[in-house]
Structure 1
Amino acid sequence: MRVVVTIQHPGHVHFFKHAIEEMEGRGHEVYVFARENEVAVDLLEAYDIDHEVLAGESDSLLSLATVQATYEARLLRRARQVKPDVITAIGGVAAAHVATAVRARSVVFYDTEHASLITRLAYPFADVVCTPSCYRGDVGAKHRRYPGYHELAYLHPDRFEPDRSVRDTIDCDPSDPLVLARISSWGASHDVGQGGFESVRDVVERLENAGAHVVLTAEGDLPASLESNQLTTAPERLHDWLAAADLVVSEGATTAAEAAVLGTPAVYVNSQALGYTTELEAQYGLLFAFYDETRHARALEKAVSILEDDDTDWSARRAAMLDERIDVTTRIVTELETAGQERVSDRSPVVANPG
């Protein structure tokens, strides 16, 4: 069958990369169409995934609408040429719309309940909506739940073995705990009016005063005084750093969840809760979330307490989580092949029984 995979964010590359390889290995034709966003295209190139870029990067919410419209129009044109059986995406606004227009099946994966604009535009048109079992909300008969997280499509131990030696590339005393802090730009449509830490400088100072070596990965510009803390690494190596760190503090839910499934304790600081961050905290104790007006102070208190904690067996907590969760890539492939078989059956001619 013919499958179109659409990529609009770096996380989408990670999510689909193993499924693309497996689908091609099973003899399916896979076409990858991308919109430039942060380092998405860089990752496609790093993983040697054949792709076509259909639209550039937006620099504001206003320009995002224009870029998205351009991307969807070009995706429609290419889909009419490819004639896919299945179109898949995370979020899936363009994918669901285009699939409807070209009579392909659409399989949408998502895990962000508060992204209401995306869900309103995508879900009504999608044939299948796949979410983690902890997703808050019901999409109806088309809803498929699975026991896992997006991050286990690429960080499950069957898919990823971290290289913790990356720590040796920075000037960090081996006896000092390493903290990676992820700072968000708050530029996504579902981030409007939301926030995380009050001061990045205060985050670094508090953690350094606790004896940690702090490195930052930031979507926007950092204050000049913190530029020396900026982590310079190839985007495809970030997960090695998350595994090598002793603690991750993050305004982004994806980074926090990535750290958690790797067995690195994560402090998540954001004004919005998600089903998967809640479950990783309540059920497995791998993530600690702070949402209210006191989140800055309380999160830093928790971060310092984790650095001072020598008793918690984080690897045991990770093992307990992995015992109950699946390799999500396997589920991706199953959903795409099932949808593709349904589409192929629909377009096959009906042969009358000669008897």
Structure 2
Amino acid sequence: MARIIFDVGHPAHVHLFRGTARAMQAQGHDILFTALDREIILHLLQRYQLPYRVTYRRRKGRYALLAELLLRTLSTYRIARQFGADLFFSFGNPTVGVPARLMGKPYIALTDTEHATEQHALFKPLATVIATPDVFTVDMGPKQVRYNGYHELAFLHPDQFTPDPARLAAVGLKPGDPFFVVRFVAWRATHDVGQRGFTPDQKRALLDELRQHGRVLLSVEGDVPPEFAPYVTPFAPEDIHHLLADATLYVGEGGSMAAEAAVLGVPSIYVNSLVMGYIRDLQDHYGLLHWYTDGAAALEKVRELLAMSDLKPDYAERRARMLRDKINTTAWLVALGNRLLDNPQRSSASLHEG
């Protein structure tokens, strides 16, 4: 059987690939995660008992990103050689693409983020296959293979995830309690330059509005302003989707969590001047997500949703309609990986045909 590397550079990538890794391991393949040491990546890998090796510890500094690009690539190559990798998966990244190319092995690069153009330029020449949702609005060329799903359905499809209401007790809640998940981002990523979400005054107004209707579970990327600290509730990172699944609303500036809430059937309000194809699809075709570039308009939508007496059943039906249309992304990735292992030279057209 084959040896397969799953590279993760963001906590969301652990969720994206853990189901595929476990399924392929159950088929007899050997799996290994290569991990950038940042945020909660290592915690999640340990919590899910996934085998891993650290490629690089993220640092700060003027040339930190350049150093990371070079040293992480070298480390990934060394680990892949030692492991004897036959296939690579990752969210598109040259630090994986270069080792795969040097070893002459197939590389499946995923992306769902249209505005990550610098990353696209770096990994696109190195990928064997570029897997994107069918609602991805950028043409990535002949290597692109589209699927009828979202990244979030790799780990939140009903075949992959069952919410555990018992997890609510850890934050002092019980099933049926009204509560809201709110996320503010730090706006430090390269693609965040010039973008915007809530203003400070709008954040205060949002939290004041929500706390009148239930508990607020606030997540803040970066430093927490003292005035928001009372809303921040610590919980185990692996519990987030169990909490999110029972929330009354999600409101935030992060696209990934907005989509996670939406595919769970939780009304989701996304405030950000950046938009992705999957965000538009969840909004325009299913009404599960509501995208705003203006925080004041988003606050009005919050009030409108809070006034709905049938909010949960209404969004549960919207979710059911979405699930009838979409696939289990994990099952699709497993099949794609096995087809490439059977014939590493297969064209993207033949892979798309299955």
Taking structure 2 as the reference length, the TM-score comes to 0.91
Aligned to 2:205: 202
> CA distance change for structure 1 residues 267 and 60 in 2, over 3 Å: closer, same or farther?
farther
Aligned to 1:92: 93
1:33-52 pair list within 5 angstroms: 33-52=34-53
1:92-241 pair list within 5 angstroms: 92-171=93-172, 177-199=178-200, 200-209=203-212, 211-241=213-243
Distance 2:141 2:264 in 1: 32
Does the CA-based 8 Å contact 1:46-1:236 persist in structure 2?
A: yes
Does the CA-based 8 Å contact 1:85-1:343 persist in structure 2?
A: no
Aligned to 1:281: 283
Per the TM alignment, residue 4 of structure 1 is displaced from its structure 2 partner at its CA by: 1.2
Distance 2:277 2:269 in 1: 16
In structure 1, give the amino acid aligned to 2:257. Answer: T
> CA distance change for structure 1 residues 174 and 12 in 2, over 3 Å: closer, same or farther?
closer
Per the TM alignment, residue 269 of structure 1 is displaced from its structure 2 partner at its CA by: 0.5
Does the CA-based 8 Å contact 2:270-2:290 persist in structure 1?
A: yes
Moved more, 176-185 or 262-271: 176-185
Does the CA-based 8 Å contact 2:254-2:270 persist in structure 1?
A: yes
Does the CA-based 8 Å contact 1:149-1:276 persist in structure 2?
A: yes
Q: Does the residue aligned with 1:150 lie in a helix, a strand or coil?
A: coil
1:69-80 pair list within 5 angstroms: 69-80=70-81
Query: What CA RMSD, in Å, does the superposition of the two structures yield over aligned residues?
Result: 1.9
Aligned to 1:348: none
Distance 1:74 1:161 in 2: 36
Choose from 252, 255, 278 the match for 2:254: 252
> CA distance change for structure 1 residues 149 and 174 in 2, over 3 Å: closer, same or farther?
closer
In structure 1, give the amino acid aligned to 2:206. Answer: V
Distance 1:59 1:263 in 2: 38
Aligned to 1:306: 305
> CA distance change for structure 1 residues 64 and 80 in 2, over 3 Å: closer, same or farther?
same
Does the CA-based 8 Å contact 2:171-2:233 persist in structure 1?
A: no
Distance 2:100 2:253 in 1: 34
Q: Deviations over 1:150-178 (max 9, x none)?
A: 00000011111112344344456987631
Distance 1:224 1:30 in 2: 43
Taking structure 1 as the reference length, the TM-score comes to 0.91
Moved more, 234-243 or 165-174: 165-174
Does the CA-based 8 Å contact 1:86-1:105 persist in structure 2?
A: yes
Aligned to 2:82: 81
Q: Deviations over 1:11-66 (max 9, x none)?
A: 11001111111111111121211001210111000000010011012346842332
> CA distance change for structure 1 residues 333 and 173 in 2, over 3 Å: closer, same or farther?
closer
Q: Deviations over 1:165-197 (max 9, x none)?
A: 443444569876311101112222222222211
In structure 1, give the amino acid aligned to 2:85. Answer: P
Moved more, 191-200 or 166-175: 166-175
Aligned to 1:353: none
In structure 2, give the amino acid aligned to 1:289. Answer: W
> CA distance change for structure 1 residues 175 and 109 in 2, over 3 Å: closer, same or farther?
closer
In structure 2, give the amino acid aligned to 1:230. Answer: V
Q: Deviations over 1:213-248 (max 9, x none)?
A: 211011212111221210211110000111111000
> CA distance change for structure 1 residues 12 and 136 in 2, over 3 Å: closer, same or farther?
same
Distance 1:86 1:183 in 2: 36
Does the CA-based 8 Å contact 1:266-1:286 persist in structure 2?
A: yes
In structure 2, give the amino acid aligned to 1:277. Answer: I
Distance 1:68 1:61 in 2: 13
> CA distance change for structure 1 residues 34 and 169 in 2, over 3 Å: closer, same or farther?
closer
Aligned residues: 341
Aligned to 2:264: 262
Q: Deviations over 1:247-301 (max 9, x none)?
A: 000111100000000010000011111000000000000000012xxx1101111
Does the CA-based 8 Å contact 1:99-1:106 persist in structure 2?
A: yes
Which ranges of structure 1 fall in alignment gaps of 5 or more residues?
Answer: 346-355
